[in-house]
Amino acid sequence: MARKTTALTVAFVMAASAALSHGDVAPQPVNTDALPDVGDEWLTENPYRDAGDDVWKAAVEIGASGYNQNCARCHGLEVISGGLAPDLRFLEAEEYGDEWYMERFISGYTQNGITKMPAFGELLGQKAAWAIRTYIEARPDDEQMAELTPELKGLRDELAAWAADPAGADADGMKAKLDEIAAGIETLSGAPVADSAAYRASALIDGSADGYRRAAEALTIGLSAAH
């Protein structure tokens, strides 16, 4: 808890005083057709957080694309800030955090007459805003992921072997292991579900060789991103 509180305090201080240098970056459009409409009036709380598993997954996927195109340059890959801009993983997944996020998203941030972050609101729209927010708040605790890396690499190697020869593979057993690991991974925002490599890999296992291959790739990519 101390880590979360301290980092969140630092993030807000940086938000108020640091040079964020988004500057003249041109916002890139985000395709949000797969997400349900949320109305024209800007909301103050994430509508996709508790909208059901399918909507949440779609929001995370779309939000990942939107974040990587528009935010990663300053806020870091996988939302792990290098110190230039606030580490948004620590922004609480509740109304207070949502309001702070949306204020910056809609209006941007200017310091001493210099644009440090452009206003994304009118250009990207509300659905894209909340999709990106959903992706951000679902980032897993990177320290916890580092501790789990040896175990997940072992499971990744098993999946890769099954992809080459699925005879004797235990799809249900592997899903159960990954689900148990995923359930124990926390977010730094307090969001209830972490979009971890274990979570993604489990969802790809369908008993086929291709499913094992894709799950192994998900673990490889996820573990690489965590480092």
Residue 116 has a pLDDT of 81
> Which pLDDT does position 5 carry in this prediction?
40
Cα separation, 179 vs 86, whole angstroms: 31
Q: Which of 94, 81, 68, 84 is nearest to 117 (CA)?
A: 84
Decide if 187 contacts 117 (C-beta within 8 A).
no
Residue 12 tokens read as 């807000």
126: helix, strand or coil: helix
Give the chain's largest Cα–Cα span.
65
End-to-end CA distance of the chain: 22
Mean pLDDT by 10 residues, the chain (227 residues): 42 37 68 95 96 96 96 90 86 95 93 86 95 98 95 98 96 98 97 96 97 98 78
The pLDDT assigned to 147 comes to 96
What is d(CA 21, CA 75) in angstroms, rounded to the nearest whole number?
A: 10
Q: How far is CA 51 from the centre of its chain?
A: 17
CA distance 87 to 42: 24
